[in-house]
Structure 1
């Protein structure tokens, strides 16, 4: 499928405001890929598709999640985490996306994971810092992203974890694992 058809298929899955967000993530992902030596075309593709299923009804997301035999532990956490793994499977089947690194970047863009690839980091961070985002600390994360992908991601995960703790919500363990793995990477680089 060509990029224009993928853009239209993605745009049709979401409200206009989320499409604006997606375009912001695409631009930020390409910029980060260029800055940090990633592949801008793969970054663009993963960013374009990262929220493909986000606005599907939660019941539909849960149904697809079960059909695909995805990790049942995730169902115990905020339903907002479901759309990444679901989108990876759906775009593989509907649109023939077979690049596993692109699919993983889609799959883990909300949670992160241990041993994140460069593309994982780019898409995850682009989702945090795209120009339309406005949450406490986002300007600081954007500034850190000018110099360090890993430090910016740690700051992003810290922000997410602090938000969840303040709301009395559970923290998905993979996010903590991703954060800690990035801390290890930074410590080894010293």
Structure 2
């Protein structure tokens, strides 16, 4: 049975691929488990985009592309960081940090996607940033609340997302930073800037 997302037809405003073609490209870049997550993020992103007035097509594209680099070999991603001039310091923080920026570079290079708002939504879907567009907020929150996520606080995040997108951004950011501190993980400076803007300044 097809969902509303499956009925979505791309306008070719952003690039030449159809949604089915982009789904196919995503499928071959990752495991079945990761692909299921990506489809969950797309469903959540399209719903949030419709609710809050972002482009549904852009939300679908960004969601399908956001984890394109998640399961790439570390060495391949390190080389891409060097080749494309991405900040070299991100290498010290592991693939959880660099897979977003690397995915944006991959979709530019391989699929000729050049819309900066979509690329930024892909780049910053993990750590966010102090100034996020509506689309960036949609993808950031959708990645956090998609139906396959199961962790303490996710139901509250989903409730907030239904009522106030910025509140959901704040909640997700606060929870993520708290988890990193509790587990004594290194915190990427951009994540701190996101916290300062979306949590501390609220």
Question: TM-score interval w.r.t. the shorter chain?
Answer: over 0.9
Q: Scaled by the length of structure 1, what TM-score is found?
A: 0.94
Specify the SS of the correspondent of 1:55: coil
Matched residue, 1:166 = 182
CA distance in 2, matches of 1:35, 1:101: 18
Alignment of 1:89-104 (within 5 A): 89-104=105-120
What residue ranges of structure 2 are gaps of 5+ in the alignment?
Answer: 1-16
Q: Scaled by the length of structure 2, what TM-score is found?
A: 0.88
Conserved 8 A contact 2:173-2:199: no
CA distance in 2, matches of 1:95, 1:167: 37
Alignment of 1:62-141 (within 5 A): 62-141=78-157
Runs of 4 or more, structure 1, over 6 Å off, are none
Corresponding residue pairs, total: 186
Which residue, 11, 15, 19 being the options, matches 1:3?
A: 19
Conserved 8 A contact 2:54-2:134: yes
CA deviations over 1:163-187 (Å, ceiling 9, x no partner): 11111111112112112222477x4
What residue ranges of structure 1 are gaps of 5+ in the alignment?
Answer: none
Conserved 8 A contact 2:173-2:198: no
Conserved 8 A contact 1:42-1:102: yes
